[in-house]
Amino acid sequence: MRRIDVGAIREDFPILSTRMNGKPLAYLDNAATSQKPRQVISAISEYYGRYNANIHRGIYKIAEEATEKYIESKSKLARMINAGSSREIIYTRNATESINLVALSWGEANIRRGDHILITEMEHHSNMVPWMVLARRKGAVLDYVRLGKDYNLEMGSLEKELSKNPKIMAFTHASNVLGTVNDARSITTKAHKAGALVLVDGAQSAPHMGVDVRGIGCDLFALSGHKMLGPTGIGALYGKEELLERMEPLLTGGDMIRSVTYESFEWNELPWKFEAGTPNIAGGIALGTAVDYINKVGIGRIRAHEESLTSYAIERMGRIKGVKIFGASDHDANGRAGIVSFAVDGIHPHDVSQIFDGEGIAIRAGHHCAMPLVTQLIKEPALSRMSFYLYNTEEEVDRAVAAIDKVKRTFKL
């Protein structure tokens, strides 16, 4: 496989030419949000500057162009994740809203007192709290698939929890803390045999690795556009058409209605049934442009590049005394997402991050919206995290390693 031209890619990202605290910016916080290429930025500007109009309403040229490009963006995303059609793509604000939509729509209609809901111990709060709230409101039981010492899901625990016949299982495709990539197809197959509906949180997988929702077999799949080169405020929920047809819309009002009288109403067809009011038109169009960019580079090549960087970072950091790396196969990047969470003995991650900031390097410090995982299982107050994308380089990893050395010198360790 031909390697990606990182130098040429970096030219497309204006922010990467800026400086932070007088140093060239090394942006290593891609699990939180990605940077945006000029093509995406231009798509937003072009919409507002050339054909800003509402969709599905105006019978005039710029309104028709806006509608066409918005609809086209759904088709692009549907092809990227191998959905059956664009009718199965619901635009939301982000993966969080997508999961909440399912919990509040499908969950309200189908979860009863005593029912079981199954998630895992590695979930982001976005795929944990909505189910906690639903279980509390409905009197249901929330169960967890346990993690093993290798930070992978324990298959014995999975089988045990599935024997309780949960109504739904929701799990992350790739952990934003551990880098663990779950075998989504195998887990989905097992969950379906137990009679569960399956939702996959793809916030950390869709931007970085090939996703085939029909190959996985999941019923629902959530993603965020801002993590995959798109703007903030746009995400998507994939759902099997027959399931979405049965689900009630969460929000009501304009555009999600086919007809209304003073006595009754009729929902619009998919996917518009779930998109009440004027949507994030610019965001949807720009997400389509982001998909074009990812496709041009090649998702397989992006994945290979990130695996190479992760392996390089783990190998270099593994030589530093007092640095502990957390994640699936701690010192092996094979099959791991481009995420390296770590701790420096005796130093709080906020101090680590502050020193990195002084060196022009952006990393994340905290519990990464996975507080139970970090504080109860890993038993750290917080972790530092580097996360990579298609525009990162080995030179930036070298700068990060040098920053760790500076951390240790600063604290005289």
Domain regions of the chain by residue span: 6-30+298-410, 42-295
CATH architecture classification, 42-295? 3-Layer(aba) Sandwich (3.40)
> For residue 328, what pLDDT is reported?
67
CATH of domain 6-30+298-410: 3.90.1150.10
pLDDT tens-digit readout, 202-230:
999 999 999 999 999 999 999 999 999 99
pTM of the model: 0.96
> For residue 255, what pLDDT is reported?
82
Do 42-295 and 6-30+298-410 fall under one CATH topology?
no
To which H or E segment does residue 260 belong?
A: strand 257-260
The first and second tokens of residue 197, run together, are: 């509906």
Q: Cα(first)–Cα(last) distance of the chain, in Å?
A: 42
Confidence at 330, pLDDT banded by 50, 70, 90: very low
pLDDT tens-digit readout, 87-123:
999 999 999 999 999 999 999 999 999 999 999 999 9
266 with 258: CB under 8 angstroms?
yes
The first and second tokens of residue 345, run together, are: 């003995």
Catalytically active residues are 369
Confidence at 81, pLDDT banded by 50, 70, 90: very high
Helix (H, G, I), strand (E, B) or coil at 396: helix
Q: Is the pLDDT of residue 412 over 80?
A: no
**Other Cβ atoms within 10 Å of 61 Cβ, number:** 10
